[in-house]
C-alpha cells in the first residue's frame, strides 16, 4: 500500500475501536507503519484486554500493511515511554503521534466524586501529555544529532471542552486543557521540526451513544455522517508531509464538514487611567457583556 503517508511511522492511542480504529486503518491504507495502542478497557476506563488492538493489527496486516500492538496505559509515565519506544524499536523511528485515548465518567458537578474527576483528567490530559513528552524528547535528540524531523502530534479535544456540555465538567476541563496544550506545544516544538494540532471530532462511538447517536439509522446507500471513520481523513492528512506548515490549530470535524475552532480573543473592553471603584462596575460590566458575542453552543 502507498499513499500520502507512505513509509511514515505512526502511533495511534485508543486505536482498538471507534475513531482511533479508523485513524489506524486509514494511516495504514495511506502507507504508514502503525503502532496500535489500546488497553481494551470499557468506556469508563474499567477492565482491559489485548483483543481490540490485536484485531486492528490483524486487519492492517491483512491489507498488506505493517502494524504492531501496544497495550500500555498512556497515562502511566513509564508506560508512555514504552509506547514511544515500541515505534522506534519496531520500525526504526517515529514520525506521528495521534493522542486519541479517552474515557467518560459523566456526572453533574454536585454529585461528581473525586475519583470520577481524577480518572477523566488522568486519561485525557495526562494521557496526552505523557506520550507527547516522550515523543518530543525523542525528536529533540534527533535534532541534536543533526537529523531533520518532519514530525507531527495530533491531539483530540472535544466540543465539550471548546463550547461546554452539561454533565461533563471533568471531561470538558480535560478537553479544553488539551486544546491549550496543543497551542503551547506547537510554539515550543517548532524548533525541532514538529507540528502540533488538535481535532474536536463528532461521530458515533461508545462515548457518544448516550447522546442519541447510537440510535440513528442510515440506509445502506446513504452517507453516514456520524460514522467514526469520517474523522480519519483530516487526521491522516495532518500527519502527512503535506501538512508541514499547519500548526497550533484546533479543527472541528464531523461527517464531511471541517472547520477551524477559533479560540479565545480579546473582546469589548472598558479602560480608564485609574483603579476601578467596585461600585462603578455594575453598568460597565453589563455593557461589556451586552456587546460581547454570546458563548457558542455545542455546535460551535
Active site residues: 158, 171, 175
CA distance 16 to 133: 23
Locate cell 534527533: which residue? 142
3-class DSSP state for residue 118? helix
Cell of 13: 492511542
Locate cell 471530532: which residue? 201
The phi-psi region of residue 263 (left if phi > 0; otherwise alpha if psi is between -120 and 50; otherwise beta) is beta
Backbone angles phi, psi at 264, to 5 degrees: -60, 135
Contact 41, 26 (CB under 8 A): no
Ordered DSSP codes for 40-61: ---TTS----SHHHHHHHHHHH
CA distance 5 to 110: 46
CA distance 212 to 218: 14
Contact 265, 236 (CB under 8 A): no
Amino acid at each position: 500500500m502507498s499513499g500520502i503517508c507512505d513509509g511514515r511511522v505512526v502511533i495511534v492511542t485508543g486505536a482498538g475501536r471507534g475513531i482511533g480504529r479508523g485513524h489506524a486503518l486509514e494511516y495504514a491504507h495511506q502507507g504508514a507503519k502503525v503502532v496500535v495502542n489500546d488497553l481494551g478497557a470499557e468506556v469508563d476506563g474499567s477492565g482491559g484486554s489485548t483483543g481490540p488492538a490485536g484485531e486492528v493489527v490483524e486487519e492492517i496486516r491483512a491489507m498488506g500493511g505493517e502494524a504492531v500492538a501496544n497495550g500500555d496505559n498512556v497515562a502511566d509515565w513509564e508506560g508512555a515511554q514504552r509506547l514511544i519506544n515500541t515505534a522506534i524499536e519496531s520500525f526504526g523511528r517515529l514520525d506521528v503521534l495521534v493522542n486519541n485515548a479517552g474515557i467518560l465518567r459523566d456526572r453533574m458537578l454536585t454529585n461528581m466524586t473525586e475519583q470520577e474527576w481524577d480518572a477523566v483528567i488522568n486519561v485525557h490530559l495526562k494521557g496526552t501529555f505523557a506520550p507527547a513528552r516522550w515523543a518530543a524528547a525523542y525528536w529533540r535528540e534527533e535534532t541534536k544529532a543533526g537529523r531533520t524531523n518532519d514530525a507531527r502530534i495530533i491531539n483530540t479535544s472535544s466540543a465539550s471542552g471548546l463550547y461546554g456540555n452539561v454533565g461533563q465538567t471533568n471531561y470538558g476541563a480535560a478537553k479544553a486543557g488539551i486544546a491549550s496544550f496543543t497551542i503551547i506545544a506547537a510554539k515550543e516544538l517548532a524548533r525541532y521540526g514538529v507540528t502540533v494540532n488538535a481535532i474536536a471530532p463528532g461521530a458515533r462511538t461508545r462515548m457518544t451513544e448516550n447522546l442519541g447517536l447510537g440510535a440513528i439509522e442510515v440506509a445502506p446507500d446513504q452517507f453516514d455522517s456520524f460514522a467514526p471513520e469520517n474523522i480519519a481523513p483530516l487526521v491522516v492528512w495532518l500527519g502527512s508531509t503535506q501538512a508541514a506548515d499547519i500548526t497550533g490549530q484546533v479543527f472541528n470535524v464531523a461527517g464531511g464538514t471541517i472547520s477551524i475552532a477559533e479560540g479565545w480573543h480579546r473582546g469589548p473592553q472598558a479602560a480608564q487611567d485609574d483603579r476601578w471603584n467596585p461600585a462603578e462596575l455594575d453598568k460597565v460590566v453589563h455593557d461589556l457583556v451586552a456587546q460581547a458575542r454570546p458563548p457558542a453552543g455545542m455546535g460551535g
